[in-house]
A and B are shown apart, each in its own frame.
Chain A
Amino acid sequence: MTYELRINPIACTGHGLCAELLPEIIELDPWGYPILLSATVPGSLVPHAKRAAATCPTLALLLDRTGPRPR
Chain B
Amino acid sequence: MSYYTVTGLREHERQHGPLPVWGNGGRQRPDRLIDLVERSGLTGRGGAGFPTGRKMRSVAAGAGKAVVVANGAEGEPASCKDRLLLTRLPHLVLDGITLAASAVRASAAYLCVHGGETDLLASLEYAVAEREAAGVDPVPIQLAGIPGRYVSSEQSAIVHYLNGGPGKPTFSPPRTHERGVGGRPTLVNNVETLAHLALIARHGDRWFRGLGPPAAPGSTLVTVSGAVGRPGVYEIALGTPVGQVLMMAGGPVERLQALLVGGYFGAWLPAEVAWHVPMCHSGLKAAGGAMGAGVVIALPDSSCALAETARVVRYLADETAGQCGPCVFGLPALADAVTDLAYAGGRGRAIDQITSLVSVIEGRGACRHPDGVTQLVRSALWAFEADARWHDHRGPCAGVRRAPLLPVPGDEDPL
**Contact of B171 with A31 in the complex, beta carbons under 8 Å:** no
A-B contact list, 14 entries, CB within 8 Å: A9-B323, A9-B327, A9-B364, A10-B171, A10-B323, A29-B325, A29-B330, A29-B360, A30-B329, A30-B360, A31-B329, A33-B325, A33-B326, A33-B329
In the assembly, what is the distance between CA of A11 and CA of B366, in Å? 10
Least CB separation from A29: chain B residue: B360
**Contact of B324 with A31 in the complex, beta carbons under 8 Å:** no
B61 to chain A, nearest CB (A): 20
B168 to chain A, nearest CB (A): 8
Q: Does A2 have its Cβ within 8 Å of any Cβ on chain B?
A: no
- Interface flags for B325-343 (1: CB within 8 Å of A; 0: not) read 1110110010000000000
**Contact of B170 with A9 in the complex, beta carbons under 8 Å:** no
Across the interface, A12 reaches (CB within 8 A) one of B325, B330, B360, namely B325
**Contact of B329 with A12 in the complex, beta carbons under 8 Å:** no
Q: Does B250 have its Cβ within 8 Å of any Cβ on chain A?
A: no
Q: Does B288 have its Cβ within 8 Å of any Cβ on chain A?
A: no
**Contact of A35 with B323 in the complex, beta carbons under 8 Å:** no
B binding-site residues for A, Cβ under 8 Å? 170-171, 323-327, 329-330, 333, 360, 364-366
A binding-site residues for B, Cβ under 8 Å? 7-14, 29-33, 35
- Specify which chain B residues have a CB less than 8 angstroms from the CB of A14 in the assembled complex: 325
A11-B171, A35-B364 known; 16 other A-B pairs, CB under 8 Å? A7-B364, A9-B171, A9-B364, A9-B365, A10-B170, A12-B324, A13-B325, A14-B325, A29-B330, A30-B333, A31-B325, A31-B326, A32-B325, A33-B325, A33-B329, A33-B364
A36 to chain B, nearest CB (A): 9
A16 to chain B, nearest CB (A): 11
**Contact of A8 with B171 in the complex, beta carbons under 8 Å:** yes
B161 to chain A, nearest CB (A): 15
**Contact of A9 with B325 in the complex, beta carbons under 8 Å:** yes
- Specify which chain A residues have a CB less than 8 angstroms from the CB of B170 in the assembled complex: 10
- Specify which chain B residues have a CB less than 8 angstroms from the CB of A31 in the assembled complex: 325-326, 329-330
4 closest A-B pairs by CB: A33-B325, A9-B324, A31-B329, A10-B323
In the assembly, what is the distance between CA of A8 and CA of B323, in Å? 10
Across the interface, A10 reaches (CB within 8 A) one of B329, B330, B360, B366, namely B366
